[in-house]
Amino acid sequence: MAQKGKILLSVTGFDPAIWRTALEKAAPDRAIVEEPSGPNDPGIDYAVVWKQRPGVLNGLPNLKAIFSIGAGVDHIFAEGDMPDVPIVRIVADDLTERMSEYVVWQVLDHHRKGMLYRDQQARKVWNESKMQPAARDVTVGILGYGNLGRDAGRKLRALGFKVIGWSRTAKTGEAIDTFAGDNGLNQFLALADIVVCLLPLTPATHGILAAPFFARMKARGPLGAPILINAGRGGLQNEADILAALESRKLGAVSLDVFESEPLPGDSPLWTHPRVTITPHAAAASMPEALIPPMVEQMDAHDRGEPLKNLVDRDAGY
């Protein structure tokens, strides 16, 4: 078997072993290395990264593209000095379906009063809430109506919810009402009873989920105060402002999968707040066996001269 160019696997924050195993299986004709063989290693063609070791991508003269093992690429841009090669992000049914499961789970939990009934069960209280709206009377606003937002929105509509979307660029021909830009955000927030945030973390979205945003949300709706679900990135949210908004009832309840600092520190008041649901950045895990084979297929196709798919727009940051 003719050897192709090497793949550099640079993963920090967790053990890269399962990614290495998947790469070795999908690309038996490429060496998988976790460090360049020296400065300016000419043998590396592609990099597969999650929070790459700082500097590891620089000075590789034949690097053709960087592949993120997540849908988000903020972890790559966190390193300021980056080689000017294409960056490919994950767009895969496996990850999309996992995210939609999380979104539907959390929306239904808030809609069907999961927090209330779990509390009642703990106290052996039998009391049916008379305030159960129908899904058709609840509007779910998807902040970040992109690949993940669209699929989650479709599944929520199948359950009967009204769904609206917000994005950076205006959309046409959508089956739902969509809004764009800052003016559009006002219209969007005036309608949404549950806001699901699936935005990427970029300079434009950093810290968006903060007091001024909560002040613009709908004051009351069929579920009482509005609900926030954030599975985008922790850097989108201001956790002190979320706690203040819960106290002032600008927010009725929140589900957070992502945090300003991960793991969420043990002394965060979010852990024990009765109207906060916490999951440990588990909304949509990247599964190597699902994601690596198409990644390697893209590398081989690119070597044959085909264009790369799912490219990141460096100016937009996602």
Q: Which does 51 bind (CB under 5 to 8 A by kind): ligand GLV, ligand NAP, none?
A: none
Q: Are 18 and 37 in contact (CB under 8 A)?
A: no
252 lies in the binding site for ligand GLV (CB under 6 A) = no
- Identify the helix (H) or strand (E) that includes residue 107: helix 93-111
H helical segments located in 141-286: 147-158, 181-191, 211-216, 239-247
Closest CB to ligand GLV among residues 134, 282? 282
- CA distances to 7, 28, 85, 303 from 23, in Å: 9, 8, 21, 17
- At residue 254, φ and ψ (nearest 5 deg) are -135, 150
Catalytic residue flag (residue 110): no
234 lies in the binding site for ligand GLV (CB under 6 A) = no
- Identify the helix (H) or strand (E) that includes residue 260: none
Closest separation in Å from C-beta 289 to ligand GLV: 15
Structure token digits, residue 4: 């192709």
Whole-angstrom distance, CA of residue 44 vs CA of residue 57: 10
Closest CB to ligand NAP among residues 54, 280? 280
141 lies in the binding site for ligand GLV (CB under 6 A) = no
254 lies in the binding site for ligand GLV (CB under 6 A) = no
Whole-angstrom distance, CA of residue 131 vs CA of residue 123: 20
71 lies in the binding site for ligand GLV (CB under 6 A) = yes
Q: Which does 198 bind (CB under 5 to 8 A by kind): ligand GLV, ligand NAP, none?
A: ligand NAP
217 lies in the binding site for ligand GLV (CB under 6 A) = no
144 lies in the binding site for ligand GLV (CB under 6 A) = no
- CA distances to 50, 110, 236, 289 from 32, in Å: 15, 45, 34, 16
Task: Tell me which of 281, 302, 304, 314 is the catalytic residue.
Answer: 281
10 lies in the binding site for ligand GLV (CB under 6 A) = no
List the strands of the sheet with 227-230, edge to edge.
177-180, 162-167, 139-143, 194-197, 227-230, 253-256, 276-278
Closest CB to ligand NAP among residues 41, 101? 101
Q: Which of 5, 36, 70, 153 binds ligand GLV (CB under 6 A)?
A: 70
Whole-angstrom distance, CA of residue 178 vs CA of residue 191: 11
10 Å CB burial of residue 198 (0-12, 13-18, 19+) is buried
Q: Which does 149 bind (CB under 5 to 8 A by kind): ligand GLV, ligand NAP, none?
A: ligand NAP
User: Taking the mean position of all CA atoms in its chain, how far away is CA 120?
Assistant: 32
Residues forming contacts to ligand NAP in the complex (CB under 6 A) are: 70-72, 95, 99, 144-149, 166-169, 198-202, 204-205, 231-233, 257-258, 281, 283-284, 318
235 lies in the binding site for ligand GLV (CB under 6 A) = no
Catalytic residue flag (residue 75): no
Closest separation in Å from C-beta 282 to ligand NAP: 7
Q: Scan residues 272-291 and list those touching ligand GLV (CB under 6 A).
A: 286
List of residues contacting ligand GLV (CB under 6 A): 70-72, 90, 286
Q: Which positions are annotated as active-site residues?
A: 233, 281
